[in-house]
Amino acid sequence: MKKPVYMDYAATTPVDPAVADEMMKYLTLDGVYGNPASRTHAYGWQAEAAVEAARKQVAGLIHADPREIVWTSGATESDNLAIKGAVAGRKDAHIVTSKIEHKAVVDTCKWLEHQGTEVTWLDPAADGTISCDQVLGALKENTVLVSLMLVNNELGTINDIAAIGGELRQRGVLFHVDAAQAGGKMAIDVSSMPVDLLALSGHKVYGPKGVGALYVRRSPDVRIEAQIHGGGHERGMRSGTLPTHQIVGMGKAFALAQSGLEEEIDKLEALRKSFLAGLQSLEGVSLNGSESSRVPGIVNLSFDGVDAESLMLGLRDLAVSSGSACASATVEPSYVLRGIGLSDEQAHRALRFSLGRFTTEEEVAFASSQIVDVVSRLRAVR
């Protein structure tokens, strides 16, 4: 069987071959397999040097100081560490987030809510963005943290994090940003973007799964409580033996992302244009999320009169995502699409197409022609 065309880069990316090559050097007997925490011999020193070089590469992509990077197992853990770590030990804390954050943030905030933390859940505008005024309007005396995403994983929309961060900085409220979906897709500069904590993932940026990072600002100094204890690695913020091969892979992936960033954005912009141009003969197709404030690789579309489940069945040659979740026998529509004001019915008509580094013009042309065929066919039999 021919494999379907991969259009789900927002879910995960393949590891870049150059990244895989690099990782292989840190696994076996003839490689650097020592424990980076071993201080007594060269095996440990070499592994530590590799980890520190990778820390520089990850810091480089976001213009951070390497000492501000804490290794984790992925953006889910980074979000947990940032949010729980900022709230820990604060009685009567209040936090602000939105209804369309990734589950790693939503479920962490829900858990804290059950523990007694007060949470304000902001409703985004119809274009999927959160405004500065909304955030400021939600602040209270006891607000300790605001958590918002830079790029939404289902819509591809970009929040104005710099503006929101500027206001929060003046008010002394901590700001955590989930940037898992922004890494390698847009310029990120924490030297000009006033955020305190920022989550990154390896596998969304052509690195391996199971590794991520949390940026923790040093100036002004941000304090968070560790959520995993044992050994005091990562300046006490995250214990556990560092997975050298994973870390080296994430470092290489982020270095590649940095050096090729503009080229990659241009390429994805062109592919997105071709993809949408190929759909132009179809009526009743609408783009979900902001038209202008977005990364190019994520395209979320609703098709009038066609439900996504039937459409996906027809599109067996494409690997895409619907954002819906199967809850027992029923299919729950995407909470993100519901969150931007779509009805259940409208949300059931949407699919997310996400393009990436290895997507080709041929693939997007094939995809759009398949979509035109299947949508037309489904509408004809209605």
Ligand X SMILES: *Cc1c(COP(=O)(O)O)cnc(C)c1O
Is 288 a binding residue for ligand X by CB under 6 A? The answer is no
Which residues, other chains included, contact 324 with Cβ-Cβ below 8 Å and sequence gap of 6+? Answer: 308, 309, 331, 332, 333, 334, 347, 348
Among 180, 226, 257, 318, binds ligand X (CB under 6 A): 180
How many C-beta atoms lie closer than 10 Å to residue 244's C-beta? 24
Is the C-alpha dihedral spanning 100, 104, 109, 114 positive or negative?
positive
DSSP SS3 for 153:
coil
Kindly determine how many residues on this chain lie close enough to bind ligand X according to the rule CB under 6 A.
14
- Active-site annotation holder among 30, 40, 292, 326: 326
E strands in the chain: 5-6, 69-72, 94-98, 118-122, 143-149, 174-178, 197-201, 212-216, 285-287, 298-303, 318-319, 325-327, 330-332, 350-354
CB of 78 to ligand X, least distance (A): 8
Is 246 a binding residue for ligand X by CB under 6 A? The answer is no
DSSP character string of 276-304: HHHTTT-SSEEE-S-SSSB-TTEEEEEET
> Which candidate, 314, 309, 298, places its Cα nearest to that of 356?
298
Among 181, 246, 288, 368, binds ligand X (CB under 6 A): 181
Among 34, 74, 85, 251, binds ligand X (CB under 6 A): 74
Is 76 a binding residue for ligand X by CB under 6 A? The answer is yes
Among 55, 84, 102, 245, binds ligand X (CB under 6 A): 102
Quick note: the x/- pattern for ligand X over 212-241, rule CB under 6 A, is x-----------------------------
Is 154 a binding residue for ligand X by CB under 6 A? The answer is no
Cα–Cα distance, 189 to 193 (Å, whole number) = 6
Catalytic annotation present for 132: no
DSSP SS3 for 26:
coil
Among 75, 109, 145, 271, binds ligand X (CB under 6 A): 75
- Which stretch in 109-117, 199-207, 223-231, 286-294 sits in contact with ligand X by CB under 6 A? 199-207
Is 153 a binding residue for ligand X by CB under 6 A? The answer is yes
Cα–Cα distance, 218 to 159 (Å, whole number) = 24
Is 264 a binding residue for ligand X by CB under 6 A? The answer is no
- Which stretch in 88-96, 200-208, 297-305, 353-361 sits in contact with ligand X by CB under 6 A? 200-208
Binding site for ligand X (CB under 6 A): 74-76, 102, 104, 149, 153, 178, 180-181, 201, 203-204, 212
Q: List active site positions.
A: 326
